[in-house]
Amino acid sequence: MEKMIEATRRLVNELCSIDTPEDTRKHEIKHEINQLLDEMLSLEKQESESSEEAQVVTPFVVSVKNGGEIDYEKVKKQFGCKGIDESLIDRVERLTCRKAHVFLRRGFFYAHRDLDKILDRYEGGKKFYLYTGRGPSSESLHLGHLIPFLFTKYLQDAFKVPLVIQITDDEKCIFKNLKPEDTKKLGRENVKDIIACGFDVTKTFIFSNFDYVGGKFYENMVKAGTCVTRNKIDGTFGFTGEDPVAKYSFPAVQAVPSFSSSFPHLFEEDIPCLIPCAIDQDPYFRMTRDVAPRLGYSKPALIESKFLPALRASGKNGKMSASDANSAIYINDSAKDIKRKINSAVTGGQDTLEDQKKYGANLKEDIPFQYLSFFLEDDAELEHIRKEYGEGRMTTGEVKNRAAQVVTEVVEKHRKARAAVTEEMVNAFMAVRPLPSMFE
Ligand code: TRP
């Protein structure tokens, strides 16, 4: 904050020393001051709001003090996103002529920016595209990693639109100290998992930053980077002067796939994109939406999810952690592993059978039930379980069994699809090529 105040003071001094009325630097300074003031205001708001509970959600840290759960409403408010309500979901269903994905109709994707505007465009026969990404930091993906891709696949099918997927093999070198050789290899392995989610090769372009950055994409990075000050990046991402400069250049890399001109082999005109992602990625796109109009580009729209809760207390408050192998379900887990892990999950059931019959389960705290609500497609069965388990006529054991079955099905379906993905398919998805029927 102090640094920002100092920077503002410097700018004001500079402004006062300009005496030619038409100096363009004046307008730049005005914009920079306004940016700084906005960022200071939002910092102050965040500080005052988070002081009671100290909840932090950034692309790099997700934590809640005192072992509490993430207050997603608060995150949404802090970030300035809108909620997704019934009427918006109805509208998606009407426009796409299909039932909304479970992740949408059960409130897992719960926040948005300008989704209504994307729907207006779609309704008016105008184009948009989808953009999402993955930072390859490990070979063994867990269920939480698949969620944005399963959802993106639904969006692609429902709206029949092109999709670009960014593999940030550079990001994981910068932020996780991995070697480029390793992240590139991991990236290719992760691409196989992504392809296994069922994307249409005639509508999907997957790219590695190390391979693709250049040309128009790089031009856009430079243009975007020119509009953002170091103070702004520090305020948005929490970097300090101690951080390596590569970190400062990365936000522009994640920002510019939001601009259609970064893909001259795909798009000829400026069209907006819709970004499905977890809410922790919002800071990147807040920044992107801020610079877009200055570059004459459309602002990206967003549809944002919560995190899949960890099975056990260690990560209950955050994302499924990759470090505690028992707190998450991995794509390579066997049916037996899954059963064991779900059996040891945190539940909201009562300690004794009598109490369970008397009081019923606390569903909000029950991880197996929550997993059912994310992965069991059948609304009627879920309702049945909600009622029976919540009112004590169903036992925790039964719910765990059903959850293990449903999750095993999802994982096995994925594993089968993954085994059928070849190196040639990876090359096909990653080739820089036009996609002639991408809107059909
Ligand atoms: N930073 C993301 C990660 O660590 C990867 C990513 C790049 C991404 N571009 C994106 C995620 C767009 C969502 C949307 O996984």
- pLDDT tens, 80-132? 999 999 999 999 999 999 999 999 999 999 999 999 999 999 999 999 999 99
Please determine, for residue 163, whether its predicted confidence score (pLDDT) is greater than 70: yes
DSSP state of 323: S
Q: How confident is the model at residue 14 (pLDDT cuts 50, 70, 90)?
A: confident
Q: How confident is the model at residue 67 (pLDDT cuts 50, 70, 90)?
A: low
> Based on the domain organization, do 43 and 62 belong to the same domain?
no
Domains contained in the chain, number: 3
| Protein residue whose Cα sits closest to atom 14 of ligand 1 | 132
How far apart (Å, rounded) are the C-alpha atoms in residues 100 and 102?
Answer: 6
Domain holding 118, by residue range, is: 55-311
Helix (H/G/I), strand (E/B), else coil: 166: strand
**In this structure, what CATH number is given to the domain that contains residue 264?**
3.40.50.620
Helix (H/G/I), strand (E/B), else coil: 26: helix
> Based on the domain organization, do 84 and 144 belong to the same domain?
yes
Q: How far is the CA of 133 from the centre of ligand 1 (A)?
A: 4
Q: Label residues 332-350 b or e (16+ Cβ within 10 Å = b).
A: ebeeebbbebbbebbbbbb
> Based on the domain organization, do 106 and 226 belong to the same domain?
yes
Instruction: Judge whether 43 lies within some domain.
Output: yes
Instruction: Judge whether 382 lies within some domain.
Output: yes
| Protein residue whose Cα sits closest to atom 1 of ligand 1 | 135
The atom number, within ligand 1, closest to the CA of 167 reads 7
The three-point CA angle 20-23-28 to 5° equals 140
Helices 335-343, 396-419: axis angle to 10 degrees equals: 150
> Based on the domain organization, do 46 and 59 belong to the same domain?
no
> Based on the domain organization, do 282 and 346 belong to the same domain?
no
Instruction: Judge whether 235 lies within some domain.
Output: yes
> Based on the domain organization, do 183 and 258 belong to the same domain?
yes
Instruction: Judge whether 426 lies within some domain.
Output: no
Q: How far is the CA of 251 from the centre of ligand 1 (A)?
A: 10
Percent pLDDT > 90 in the chain is 79
Alpha carbon of 223 to those of 102, 231, 252, 367: distances in Å? 39, 17, 9, 45
Final residue belonging to a domain, choices 27, 50, 73: 50
The atom number, within ligand 1, closest to the CA of 172 reads 4
Q: How far is the CA of 281 from the centre of ligand 1 (A)?
A: 7
Give the contacts of 415 (CB within 8 A, at least 6 positions apart). 331, 332
Residue 31: predicted pLDDT = 85
Q: How far is the CA of 198 from the centre of ligand 1 (A)?
A: 19
Residues with CB under 6 A from ligand 1: 59, 132-135, 166, 168, 171, 254, 275, 277, 281
- Tell me the whole-structure pTM to 2 decimals: 0.87
Instruction: Judge whether 73 lies within some domain.
Output: yes
Q: How far is the CA of 329 from the centre of ligand 1 (A)?
A: 21
> Based on the domain organization, do 232 and 137 belong to the same domain?
yes
Choosing from 130, 142, 279, 281 the residue with most ligand 1 atoms within 8 A of its CB, the one to mutate for a pocket test is 281
Q: How far is the CA of 186 from the centre of ligand 1 (A)?
A: 15
